[in-house]
Amino acid sequence: MSAPSLGREVHLVSNPAGLPAPEHFPVAEAPVPRPGAGQLLVCNRKFLVFAGLRTLISREADGFQVPPLKPGEPLFGPALGEVVAVGPGTAGVPVGTLVTHLLGWREYAVVDADAVRVVPEDHPDPVALLSTASAAYGALTRLTRLRAGETVLVTGAAGGVGSLAGQVARLLGAGRVVGTTRSPGKAERLRRELGYDAVVVRGDGPLADALTEAAPDGYDVIIDNVGGEQLTAALEAARPGARVGLVGALSGQFDPTLAGGTAPASIDTFRVVKLAVTLAGYQDAEHPGVEEEWRERLTHWLRTGELVHPHVTLPGIDRAPGALQELHQGRHFGTLVVEI
């Protein structure tokens, strides 16, 4: 396949003060660059739509591991594509190879050959490699060190991370797995398709009471993707010695009154001390080796059928500008990807 001279990409036109809307992300044409030495030209097939983009385009993105996006720049994030040209002297990743990399939201991307991961030809579900649920795997195995038989709570269970986190907790030996969502329909799917023992629908009365009802002996491990009121309630339902892995901050990222880089929560620190609860935030960079380990185990579990990767595919790059809005509206279940 030869590359055209122009390709389409999704740009940021301005850093929105509130929640982003489709007009912040027009699809525009841009010259398709040629790969230089040590580089590859990749024709993207699919890319991930993820909540963290709200943070990266916000005015509060400074200090995060990934540099914030500026107006005029194309969006980026995990992508799956095929190598269509290699730069001079670039060996090891031939034309036709399927790879994952971090320059999504565009039809063609030039990436350094050492920044791509090759997708094995016999991979059972390459789209699953776009998932960022390695963070939940890392939080379960490195931060909270889940032990066999323990009770686990996953907040934001119907999102890309949460829909894998509950299944992974079970595979790692959890005795009871409970999740939260705002949708009764998603709650039903979490129980039926993903093996959650119970799911609490937020907005149906006091959350802490419902969480306690779902696990009367309390939670040993909490994987928190949300923060805010859900973290407050989760701590009220925690057992003595509970470990909390703080993975995400959906409550802040999807709050129109916040700028996207904060997620305040009220915490009864007296209770945290009394019950000897530990809280720790998860950052990939602090845990080298987790990503590779996760990819291997994810691939194995997909191949054996022990785990499924729930995802929704939006057809066409023209669907991309509205995709982030669809995410915070909670329209989809599991991982959301755009197929170019």
Where does this chain bind ligand NAP (CB under 6 A)? Answer: 50-52, 132, 135, 156, 158-162, 181-183, 186, 225-226, 247-251, 253-254, 282-284, 327-328, 330
- Residue closer to ligand NAP by CB (options 90, 131) is 131
Nearest residue to 28 via CA among 72, 80, 70, 82? 72
The amino acid present at 299, given as its one-letter code, is: T
User: Cα(312)–Cα(331) distance, rounded to whole angstroms?
Assistant: 10
Q: Helical H runs in the chain?
A: 52-56, 134-138, 162-171, 184-194, 207-214, 228-236, 250-253, 269-274, 290-304, 320-328
* Min dist. Cβ of residue 218 to ligand NAP (A): 22
What's the sign of the alpha-carbon dihedral 295, 301, 305, 306?
negative
- Residue closer to ligand NAP by CB (options 20, 162) is 162
User: Cα(183)–Cα(284) distance, rounded to whole angstroms?
Assistant: 30
* Min dist. Cβ of residue 72 to ligand NAP (A): 24
Q: What SS3 state is found at 27? A: strand
- Residue closer to ligand NAP by CB (options 86, 157) is 157
The residue with its CB nearest to ligand NAP is 248
- Residue closer to ligand NAP by CB (options 58, 181) is 181
* Min dist. Cβ of residue 272 to ligand NAP (A): 21
Whether 166 contacts 195, CB under 8 Å: yes
- Residue closer to ligand NAP by CB (options 32, 222) is 222
For residue 143, what is the DSSP state? I
Nearest residue to 215 via CA among 150, 148, 140? 150
* Min dist. Cβ of residue 52 to ligand NAP (A): 4
- Residue closer to ligand NAP by CB (options 15, 230) is 230
* Min dist. Cβ of residue 291 to ligand NAP (A): 10
CB neighbours of residue 20 within 10 Å: 21
CB neighbours of residue 105 within 10 Å: 28
- Residue closer to ligand NAP by CB (options 68, 160) is 160
* Min dist. Cβ of residue 202 to ligand NAP (A): 7
Instruction: Identify each DSSP E strand in 33-186 by its residue range.
Output: 39-49, 79-86, 98-101, 108-112, 117-118, 151-154, 176-181
Helix (H) or strand (E) holding 224: strand 219-224
* Min dist. Cβ of residue 125 to ligand NAP (A): 17
Helix (H) or strand (E) holding 245: strand 238-246
Q: Which residues pair with 281 in a beta bridge?
A: 246
* Min dist. Cβ of residue 162 to ligand NAP (A): 5
- Residue closer to ligand NAP by CB (options 268, 284) is 284
- Residue closer to ligand NAP by CB (options 17, 37) is 17
* Min dist. Cβ of residue 249 to ligand NAP (A): 5
User: Cα(30)–Cα(9) distance, rounded to whole angstroms?
Assistant: 7
